[in-house]
Amino acid sequence: MPIKPDFLFGKPFDEFPDVTEWDVIVLGAGPNGLIAAAYLAKAGAKVCLVERRYEIGGGLATDEVLFPGYYSNNHAIYHMMVDYMPVMQDFDIGKYGFQWIKPNPQTAAVFNDGQALVLSHMVEDTKDSITKFSFKDAVTYGRLMRSWKKIVAEILGPATYLPPMLPIEITMAMQKTKTGQEMLELVEESALDIINNNFENDRVKATLLYNCCIWGLDPRETGVGMFVALYSDRMTNKCYCMGGSHKFAAALAREILSNGGIIIDACEATKITMEGGRVSGIETTEGRILKAKTIMSTLDPHTTFLDLLGKENMPGDLTEAIEGWKYDKWSYFTVHVATKEAPRYNCDDPWANDAFMNLVGVEGTDQLLAHWDNVIAGKIDPNNFAGHATCESLLDPHLVHSPYGGHVSFFQMHAPYDIEGGWDKMGPELEAAILEKWQKAAPNMTRDNIIRTTHETPVGIERRFPNMRKGGIKHGDYKPIQLGCFRPNQECSSSATPIPGLYTCGASNYPGGAVLGGPGYIGANKVAEDMGLTKWWKPTRRMEQYVETYLDSPLGGLG
Amino acid sequence: MAKEEQFDFVIVGGGPNGVALASYLGKCGASVCVLEERTEAGGSVDNVEPFPGVRLTPHAMYMYSGPAPGFEQLELWKYGFRMDWSPMSENIMSQKDAGVKVSDGIASISEKDMMGWAKISGVSTEKPYIKELLRSIFWTPPHPAEVEITPDNIPYMQVYKQHDPSIWTEELLDMTMFDLMDEYLETEPFKVMQAAVAWYSGAAGHWEGVAIPALGCDITLTLYSGLSVPRGGMHDYFHAIIRSAIANGVIIRTCCPVDEIIVENGVAKGVRLRDTATTDENTIWAKKAVISAVDVRQTFVDLIGPSHVGASLLRKVKDISLKGGSIWVSHLITKEPLRPREKFKTASMSEPGEVGGPFPCDHRDIYYEHVADVDGRKGIPSVPPERLMWLATQSKRFSDAESQCTVPGWYLESPYYVLVPPPEYEQDDPITLKNEDFRGVRPNTVDAQKEEINAYMRKAFSLVLENLDDDLIMHLANTPYESEFRNTGLIGGTWCGTRHCDDQWGENRPVPELARYRTPIDGLYLCNQTSCHPGGLALMAVPYNLMHILIEDGLVEPGDWWYASPWYIPESGKIPANKNGR
Ligand SMILES: Cc1cc2nc3c(=O)[nH]c(=O)nc-3n(C[C@H](O)[C@H](O)[C@H](O)COP(=O)(O)OP(=O)(O)OC[C@H]3O[C@@H](n4cnc5c(N)ncnc54)[C@H](O)[C@@H]3O)c2cc1C
Ligand SMILES: Cc1cc2nc3c(=O)[nH]c(=O)nc-3n(C[C@H](O)[C@H](O)[C@H](O)COP(=O)(O)OP(=O)(O)OC[C@H]3O[C@@H](n4cnc5c(N)ncnc54)[C@H](O)[C@@H]3O)c2cc1C
């Protein structure tokens, strides 16, 4: 129990009770926890969302890392699934002063000789830019994107919000349409194969490959080729949340609260307790007890099962599966800068300066693969690395609150958690290397222009969010045995687990990491069904179409 | 797209005062919209984590608000409000053991000091009345203009008369806090320490006629809730407030700077947002009232403007004194915990992380010298470092389960507060500049010398701390100038916006015409630290007090959960705010 003093002059006020009881406890207030809690609170469950940090949001963080006066989106900034997320239709979050924008110039690679390739939201704009490199590639891009967009719109987009299926079930379902068959053809190939087989210009190839693998897809891995369609489409549909990603978290939190849910932060769960073979609640660092017969964890598998639940409460095969969980093969290293002027890239296409994301250091496929191979081997070659940069304040005037004015930007790159030499030494060295490379691409990024810098290493990511183990931005690697119905394992991937009353629904669950909202939504559906709550929401139109077209029976009572 | 939006109340500014009021109004069943300019609500009650595992409090750190009725009325406990109680809160005598830091070591505190202090603070009677005393000082609206203020109706005078008549004398009203202490205490350093705490917390120890308000500012920190920290820091206390507001149906919008309060025929009708606002509709109408929870100058000078405010009032608003509250806030990251020098160790302060303030408390001359430097001029601090009075937050206040710094090998002491002269601006008063114009404002001389001043501050801190220079990794600071730009409400970089001297206290705050939260514009009320009694600190006092006025004007009718201040006097011809007998 928490310490209470002898109140000398009478107890000043009441505090949150030491022991409370809830219908549902949700662990972790990242995007998934917030979404799960929002659906269930509105369905009438007595929900308590428990967050370790002093602020909700998890990966939806907008922090003053360039203190004082400059705010940065130090975790998720590129929101790829806004067009599909059921949350957008189910909640009227616009009423909280909430807005997305989707810039047309989405990703611009700036090459070392000043050439630029701009991938836009509008395919014809992208084709215009690719034509500069290869007319043939431009035509191919247009043709492939028509097919890939369909695959995403009809299948991958809606399936993000439905429980996973076995590979064999997918194969059968996909036979039903031409789009499905096209997807199956993709699956077998690796990202590198797909891109190599279709495109000829190496700069075009490298740019598209970066786009596909940015979230941790292994370029040489086969069996996951559908991600090429998914990311090629979604990475040209990135949205930005005005005021910073944290505003998305705040809007969801407001839905929870206005529907009677409770959020407590600065409250770390230390134990999931069991009673009569079912979960019974949690204990927190400060010694409070929160009881509930249903617990949804959005934390990574090791935290949920090994640290909080304990092996003694798990069947042996589950323990084995959890212990075998592989964390992300790479994390991120990010340099944040406040500058007087926004970076201006010296390149042959001024549109590159309006792009949401700039690629710097991506020159060709071999060079890019060599960089990634280094990262996987625990190294970064200061003479050969690549990353992406965004000047946030060009999109969003709300991030700068300093008398010096100016802009905030960041440069982010893949980086190993265990780096040769250690991060204490490599952090500053890499920051210097990045600033040098950045200045080559954007000559005004001089020392003189820079007001302040800071960097966040993979170790730092884990320190801010211990559930992002090894700096893992998606709580665990993407590889075929950790994807689809195997994420995190076959028993838990639809959210229910073998432990009665325990559900998992964070980035380590199907469909995975990033701000997809999939795990949280699927978890909320499952819990609502198991608790017998009336679902006040309907699947999106696209989900309904997908279910009708591909599945024999309406799935899991959705609808 | 352009849909007309209407709420009963539109509140400009999402600081602790605006949001707590919103919660009160929502609880009464009104529809309420709060518009906040920054990406997050909370005003100067915020937390930041600039480096992973390092949590700083750039502004409000201490929990002064313990006696607030708001805890009960808004049911903050429901919304996750918790304290991390520090052992220091437990025993007033531990403060005696700690002694007082003076230049050459620790001065001891006498039995008479403790007795006297306990007496005037209302904790020595059989039934302590400190809570009533504090509520009478802060949680009571000023009396109506028609009521003559007498020693008998001033709320805290009533409390003394009732609970300890031996303290009551009309002279209390003309005293400074030093005068009061000279009567009840004996040790000079102890008095200087209390005066300094009061100066840093609101009404200063040497201001005439505010002896008891100054004492209140001091003891709500040192004797009531202030020695402990809310779990998650003051921002999490704010979380409980904002969450209660949302649960009460309030709509809160951030990134929505208000550009104009729309006034038609002398009546406030709504607000217009700046075009950077993240909404589709930039005009929001108020059916009952617009409440300005942003600073008083911006309210009248920018948001309303001369076409609706008479020249005389406008001038009075511009003349409100901002002195006395610009704070240079330091955050010290070190390789080893900061240790007190040998001569400062006492039984209860020998460990690293136990060094608090204020220092140096030798004699009131030091206090006066620093005061003159801060309030007597603009520019950069000029007292020698050994005579700079600073206030530090002990990291020991934070429980191990909620420590401020979790980076292995790093230690954080934060915040260290130092009052400094108001910064000088090269351009026009920046509060009259619009947000867009912030860009490109030249840093003033203070900021150009930030590093130099940080070093000067460290010299002062090092008089007590043994290893600051040797073990320093990083000295982060938010200067008053930077604080002001983070939060436009901190006019002049001051933490309270408007000083709490007798001329700007109670019935005089911020100027007599505006003292009861009403304005010459019908349907426009004030709810900000700069514009309302009792002023600065995140007390939930301004909103509680304003509630009395909104009830008087028939705008809201709270349920049984409401109780008015026992010392409140209704204005004649209005609906009394205590009519339900509570
Ligand atoms: C540097 C970086 C950049 C990224 N960029 C993008 C991007 O641009 N676009 C994108 O879509 N995705 C991005 N991601 C990934 C994305 O942020 C995550 O995949 C996503 O946030 C996962 O959501 P979640 O809700 O499952 O978990 P999280 O966001 O990790 O939230 C889990 C929450 O649980 C809390 N917690 C941890 N332990 C406990 C405990 N014991 N008790 C209670 N609470 C606990 C944590 O504090 C955290 O708030 C990025 C991630 C990183 C690190
Ligand atoms: C350095 C420092 C230390 C402090 N220490 C303490 C302490 O230890 N304990 C304590 O209790 N208090 C402390 N305070 C004081 C306390 O933080 C303030 O008294 C309190 O925040 C005042 O609340 P408010 O709501 O009146 O105003 P503010 O907190 O200033 O809120 C006003 C809000 O309005 C917004 N705003 C401004 N203009 C507009 C516009 N045009 N449109 C929309 N929104 C706008 C601002 O962004 C801000 O969020 C400290 C303050 C500072 C600066």
Pick among B32, B39, B55, B484 to test the A interface (most A CBs inside 10 A): B39
pLDDT at A296 over 80: yes
**What's the confidence (pLDDT) of residue B376?**
87
**What's the confidence (pLDDT) of residue B425?**
59
* A291 and A270 both lie in a single domain: yes
**What's the confidence (pLDDT) of residue B448?**
57
pLDDT at B150 over 50: yes
**What's the confidence (pLDDT) of residue B87?**
73
Q: How confident is the model at residue A117 (pLDDT cuts 50, 70, 90)?
A: very high
pLDDT at B1 over 50: no
Which residue in the block uniquely carries the two structure tokens 């201001």?
A: B207
B56 at the A interface (CB within 8 A)?
A: yes
Q: What is the mean pLDDT of the segment spanning A198-222? A: 97
Indicate yes or no: CB of B82 within 8 angstroms of CB of A12.
Answer: no
Question: Given B227, B245, B260, which residue is the final one in a domain?
Answer: B227
Question: Given A464, A493, A508, which residue is the final one in a domain?
Answer: A464
Question: Given B466, B493, B520, which residue is the final one in a domain?
Answer: B493
**Percent of chain A clearing pLDDT 70 (strictly above):** 99
* A316 and A390 both lie in a single domain: no
**What's the confidence (pLDDT) of residue B292?**
98
- Ligand with an atom nearest the CA of residue B303: 2
* A256 and A293 both lie in a single domain: yes
Note whether residue B72 is domain-resident.
Answer: no
Instruction: Find the residues whose C-beta lies inside 6 A of ligand 2.
Output: B 12-18, 35-38, 43-45, 59-62, 64, 257-258, 293-294, 298, 327, 329, 483, 487-490, 495-496, 528-529, 536-538
Q: How far is A129 from chain B (nearest CA, A)?
A: 31
Indicate yes or no: CB of B72 within 8 angstroms of CB of A401.
Answer: no
B77 at the A interface (CB within 8 A)?
A: yes
**What's the confidence (pLDDT) of residue A554?**
59
Q: What is the DSSP string of B66-86?
A: TT-THHHHTTGGGGT--EE--
Contacts of B39 in chain A (CB under 8 A): 62, 71, 243-244, 246-247, 398-399
Domain count of the fold of chain A: 2
Whether A417 is in the pocket of ligand 1, judged by its Cβ within 6 Å, is no
**What's the confidence (pLDDT) of residue A9?**
79
> What mean pLDDT value characterizes chain A?
96
Note whether residue B433 is domain-resident.
Answer: yes
* A222 and A260 both lie in a single domain: no
Instruction: Tell me the Ramachandran region of residue A547: left when phi exceeds 0, alpha when psi lies from -120 to 50, beta otherwise.
Output: alpha
If you count residue pairs, one on A and one on B, with CB atoms under 8 Å apart, how many are there? 221
Between the CA of B488 and the centroid of ligand 2 the distance, in Å, is 9
Measure CB to CB from residue A54 to each of B47, B225, B486 and give the nearest one.
Answer: B47
* B418 and B460 both lie in a single domain: yes
* A373 and A293 both lie in a single domain: no
* A336 and A315 both lie in a single domain: no
Domain count of the fold of chain B: 3
- Ligand with an atom nearest the CA of residue A517: 1
Indicate yes or no: CB of A14 within 8 angstroms of CB of B71.
Answer: yes
Indicate yes or no: CB of A399 within 8 angstroms of CB of B39.
Answer: yes
Nearest ligand 2 atom, CA B41: 49
Measure CB to CB from residue A69 to each of B123, B231, B486 and give the nearest one.
Answer: B486
Q: How far is B217 from chain A (nearest CA, A)?
A: 16
* B359 and B478 both lie in a single domain: yes
* B25 and B158 both lie in a single domain: no
**Percent of chain B clearing pLDDT 70 (strictly above):** 94
Measure CB to CB from residue A243 to each of B249, B278, B444 and give the nearest one.
Answer: B278
Between the CA of B322 and the centroid of ligand 2 the distance, in Å, is 14
* Closest residue on chain A to B235 (Cα): A54
Q: How far is B230 from chain A (nearest CA, A)?
A: 10
Note whether residue A312 is domain-resident.
Answer: yes
**Percent of chain B clearing pLDDT 90 (strictly above):** 79
pLDDT at B37 over 90: yes
> What mean pLDDT value characterizes chain B?
91
Helix axis angle, A123-131 relative to A135-151, nearest 10°? 160
pLDDT at B432 over 80: no
Note whether residue A276 is domain-resident.
Answer: yes
Q: How far apart are CA A313 and CA A332, in angstroms?
A: 34
Contacts of B80 in chain A (CB under 8 A): 16, 262-265, 267
Question: Given A429, A464, A499, which residue is the final one in a domain?
Answer: A464
Specify the amino acid at residue B288. Answer: K
Note whether residue B576 is domain-resident.
Answer: no
Q: What is the mean pLDDT of the segment spanning A170-176? A: 95
* A392 and A513 both lie in a single domain: no
Q: What is the mean pLDDT of the segment spanning A499-509? A: 98
Contacts of A4 in chain B (CB under 8 A): 85
Here the tokens at position B5 are 């939006």
Specify the amino acid at residue B479. Answer: T
* A507 and A433 both lie in a single domain: no
Between the CA of A310 and the centroid of ligand 1 the distance, in Å, is 23
Is residue B194 within 8 A of residue B117, CB to CB? The reply is yes
Question: Given A410, A433, A464, which residue is the final one in a domain?
Answer: A464
* B124 and B260 both lie in a single domain: no
pLDDT one-digit tens code per residue, B507-524:
999 999 999 999 999 999
**What's the confidence (pLDDT) of residue B353?**
80
Is residue B395 within 8 A of residue B404, CB to CB? The reply is yes
**What's the confidence (pLDDT) of residue B323?**
79
pLDDT one-digit tens code per residue, A435-486:
999 999 999 999 889 989 999 999 999 999 999 999 999 999 999 999 999 9
**What's the confidence (pLDDT) of residue B36?**
97
Pick among A56, A264, A399, A465 to test the B interface (most B CBs inside 10 A): A264
Q: Which domain holds residue B343?
A: 325-493
Here the tokens at position A438 are 């950045």
**What's the confidence (pLDDT) of residue B433?**
36
From A285, A467, A504, mutation site for ligand 1 pocket: most ligand atoms within 8 A of C-beta: A467
**What's the confidence (pLDDT) of residue B488?**
86
* Closest residue on chain A to B329 (Cα): A68
Note whether residue A125 is domain-resident.
Answer: yes
**What's the confidence (pLDDT) of residue B437?**
36
- Name the residue with higher pLDDT: B486 or A49: A49
* B469 and B359 both lie in a single domain: yes
Q: How confident is the model at residue A552 (pLDDT cuts 50, 70, 90)?
A: confident
Q: How confident is the model at residue A52 (pLDDT cuts 50, 70, 90)?
A: very high
Indicate yes or no: CB of B50 within 8 angstroms of CB of A64.
Answer: yes
Q: How far is A467 from chain B (nearest CA, A)?
A: 14
Q: How far apart are CA B124 and CA B93, in angstroms?
A: 13
Atom 34 (ligand 2) nearest CA:
B13
* A343 and A432 both lie in a single domain: yes
Measure CB to CB from residue B49 to each of A253, A260, A464 and give the nearest one.
Answer: A464
Q: How confident is the model at residue A558 (pLDDT cuts 50, 70, 90)?
A: very low
Here the tokens at position A341 are 């002027």
Pick among B71, B138, B231, B236 to test the A interface (most A CBs inside 10 A): B231
Here the tokens at position A212 are 């596909």
* Closest residue on chain B to A269 (Cα): B401
Q: Residue A400 is part of a domain; what is its CATH number?
A: 3.90.660
* A340 and A391 both lie in a single domain: yes
Q: Residue B279 is part of a domain; what is its CATH number?
A: 3.50.50.60
Indicate yes or no: CB of A454 within 8 angstroms of CB of B486.
Answer: no
Nearest ligand 1 atom, CA A35: 25
Helices (H), B167-254: 177-184, 188-201, 211-219, 234-247
Q: What is the mean pLDDT of the segment spanning B61-90? A: 92
**Greatest CA span in chain B, whole angstroms?**
71
Q: Count Cβ atoms below 10 Å from residue A548 Cβ, excluding itself.
A: 9
* B334 and B480 both lie in a single domain: yes
Least confident span in B16-25, B210-219, B283-292, B450-459: B450-459
**What's the confidence (pLDDT) of residue B141?**
98
pLDDT one-digit tens code per residue, A335-361:
999 999 999 999 999 999 999 999 999
pLDDT one-digit tens code per residue, A539-548:
999 999 999 9
Q: Is the four-CA dihedral B329, B332, B338, B341 of positive or negative sign?
A: negative
Whether A298 is in the pocket of ligand 1, judged by its Cβ within 6 Å, is yes
Note whether residue A153 is domain-resident.
Answer: no
B236 at the A interface (CB within 8 A)?
A: yes
Note whether residue A45 is domain-resident.
Answer: yes
Is residue B140 within 8 A of residue B565, CB to CB? The reply is yes
Non-local CB neighbours of A155 within 8 Å, separated by 6+ positions: A174, A179, A180, A183, A546, A550
Note whether residue B437 is domain-resident.
Answer: yes
**What's the confidence (pLDDT) of residue B444?**
43
Pick among A9, A75, A340, A465 to test the B interface (most B CBs inside 10 A): A9
Q: Count Cβ atoms below 10 Å from residue B566 Cβ, excluding itself.
A: 15
Note whether residue A85 is domain-resident.
Answer: no
**What's the confidence (pLDDT) of residue B201?**
95
Rg (CA), chain B: 23
Least confident span in A48-57, A181-190, B319-328, B364-373: B319-328
Indicate yes or no: CB of A406 within 8 angstroms of CB of B439.
Answer: yes
Indicate yes or no: CB of A67 within 8 angstroms of CB of B56.
Answer: yes
pLDDT one-digit tens code per residue, B541-577:
999 999 999 999 999 999 999 999 999 999 999 999 9
* B336 and B238 both lie in a single domain: no
Indicate yes or no: CB of B439 within 8 angstroms of CB of A96.
Answer: no
* A121 and A208 both lie in a single domain: yes
* B474 and B329 both lie in a single domain: yes
* A301 and A357 both lie in a single domain: no
B246 at the A interface (CB within 8 A)?
A: yes
Which residue in the block uniquely carries the two structure tokens 């090269």?
A: B426
pLDDT one-digit tens code per residue, A368-396:
999 999 999 999 999 999 999 999 999 99
pLDDT at B348 over 80: no
Q: How far apart are CA A209 and CA A196, in angstroms?
A: 9
The SS3 of residue B454 is helix
Q: Which domain holds residue A298?
A: 17-60+243-324+476-550
Q: How far is B548 from chain A (nearest CA, A)?
A: 22
